[in-house]
Structure 1
Amino acid sequence: MNKNSQEFVDVLLKKLVKLNYIKPGDVPNIDLYMDQVTTFMDEHLSDIKRHEDDKILTKTMINNYTKNNLLPPPVKKKYSKEHIYVLTFIYYLKNILSISDIQKLLNPLTDKFFNTDGVPALDTIYKEIYDMEKLQLEALPQDVLGKTELSKQAFCDVENEEDKDFLQLFMLVCLLSFDVYMKKNIIESLIDDYTAKKASSDKPKTKEEIKEEKREAKEEAKEAKRAAKQKK
């Protein structure tokens, strides 16, 4: 990897650390119409765009999220700060997860903590996640720089400088991609495990299971009576 490529990585890392995010305190406490929501999201996440004409969020996206049961419907065409939190989660998750997996994650979240008396409140959940992610972001440059150094040690025997530079760049991309791939697999496994356990707990009990539970309850009651008599 030549000097120009190294400098580009350094500049990119500095840019990533300074990217705009939707801070907990930035989310308005008043309800917003859809146009206001898309404007808010675009203003706060514009730095993340890869291309200038990329759309952070559109009306169609919001409607589709609601249709796919990712986002609770608005109240009288207005969206609350809880909607903004959920839309932010969707924005980040959709880059690595399927709609189905996002649904499995967000449904329990919105069922228990969206405009409910659930504890903790959704804004508390968002703030805690935001704070943790900021800490992760601080460690990102060191990780990327470490992989950059590894890639510079590869293909050193290639004599053509242009070819060597490309191959080392390709190595860096592969190292970063492998990291994302492995973490994506871990995330999917966590979701699958949670979903399987949830389905098992929600599954109606069979007659045999109910009968066995009653038998065990009777045995426990008898044991309790025997213990009480012994104390007397």
Structure 2
Amino acid sequence: MENLNELVENLGLERKIELEDIPNIDLYMDQVIQFFENTYSSTKRNKDDKILTKTMINNYAKGKLLFPIKNKKYSKEHIILIGLIYQLKGALSINDIKLTLDGINEKILKEEIELGEFYQSYLNLFDHNVGNIRDSLLVRAEEVKEEMNRLEDKGDDYLEKVLLILSLVNISNMYRRVAEKLVDELGE
């Protein structure tokens, strides 16, 4: 697992949509899809994976994850929300995402939120989290090495990778469960 740093570098963890990257003009759906594809294509696990599709966007709109679209054009605020949905959908159900974003959509409609400012706060945390994950991965890898030294099959790279996978998934599940609990509190 000496290549862990290289692996992390190739993940594109730092890929995100900056506020200044979002066009100040409204976009049609195909333009939105292309915008997301251009931004996140390097993060795909498989080259055939889709970042965003028309069906996804239509489902977000029908499911009221986005405030209403006008004249088939998506505003900067819509793009921010689609970006947040893109990040949330890896861990939360569509219903949980809707619950999470309901209040933001309401505040947008009532003009009670400066969404760009809120999104910039999210981006600041995003950058901080990328640094934390890099540091944390090195710690997890060291912990796995320590556990491997306790086993008879000390030098088995396969077992070492499986232990790291199990540890990372365990942490991911714990964070997801905490997030779900916070979503439940939003719904109360």
TM-score (norm 1): 0.76
Kept in 2, the 8 Å contact 1:24–1:123? The answer is yes
2:138 is matched with: 145
1-side partners of 2:47 and 2:68: how far apart?
Answer: 30
Root-mean-square deviation over aligned CA pairs: 1.6
Whichever of the two has the greater Rg, that structure is 1
Question: Given the alignment, which residue of 151, 155, 161 partners 1:169?
Answer: 161
Q: What's 2:102 paired with?
A: 107
Relative to structure 1, is the Cα distance of residues 153 and 160 closer, same or farther in structure 2, using a 3 angstrom cutoff?
Answer: closer
User: Which runs of 5 or more structure 2 residues have no equivalent in the other structure?
Assistant: none
Judge conservation of contact 1:70–1:103 (CA < 8 Å) in 2. Answer: yes
Count how many residue pairs are aligned between Structure 1 and Structure 2: 187
**Paired letter, 2:160:** Q
Aligned with 2:2 (options 2, 6, 10): 6
Per-residue deviation, residues 78-104 of structure 1 (Å, max 9, x unmatched): 100001000001111011001111010
- Residue by residue over 1:96-148, the C-alpha shift from the partner in whole angstroms, topping out at 9 and shown as x without a partner, is 0011110101111111125x4213x1111111111111111112111001000
**Structure 1 unaligned blocks of 5 or more:** 197-232
Offset, 1:185: 0.9
Residue 212 of structure 1 is matched in structure 2 by: none
Which of 10, 16, 20 is matched with 1:21 structurally?
A: 16
Judged with a 3 Å threshold, the aligned counterparts in structure 2 of structure 1 residues 181 and 18 are, in CA distance, closer, same or farther, namely: closer
| Cα pair distance change 1:194/1:67, threshold 3 Å | same
* Deviation by residue 1:159-191 (Cα, 9 ceiling, x = unmatched): 484xx2211111111111111111111111111
State the secondary structure of the residue aligned to 1:83.
helix
- The answer to whether the aligner puts 1:190 opposite 2:182 as a matched pair is yes
Q: Deviations over 1:52-75 (max 9, x none)?
A: 111100111100111111122321
Output the CA distance in 2 between the equivalents of 1:27 and 1:51: 26
Of the two structures, which has the highest relative contact order with CA contacts closer than 8 Å and spacing of 6 or more? 2
Q: If the length of structure 2 is used for normalisation, what is the TM-score?
A: 0.93
Q: What is the distance in 2 between the residues matched to 1:27 and 1:98?
A: 26
- Structure 2 residue 56 is the aligned partner of structure 1 residue 61: yes
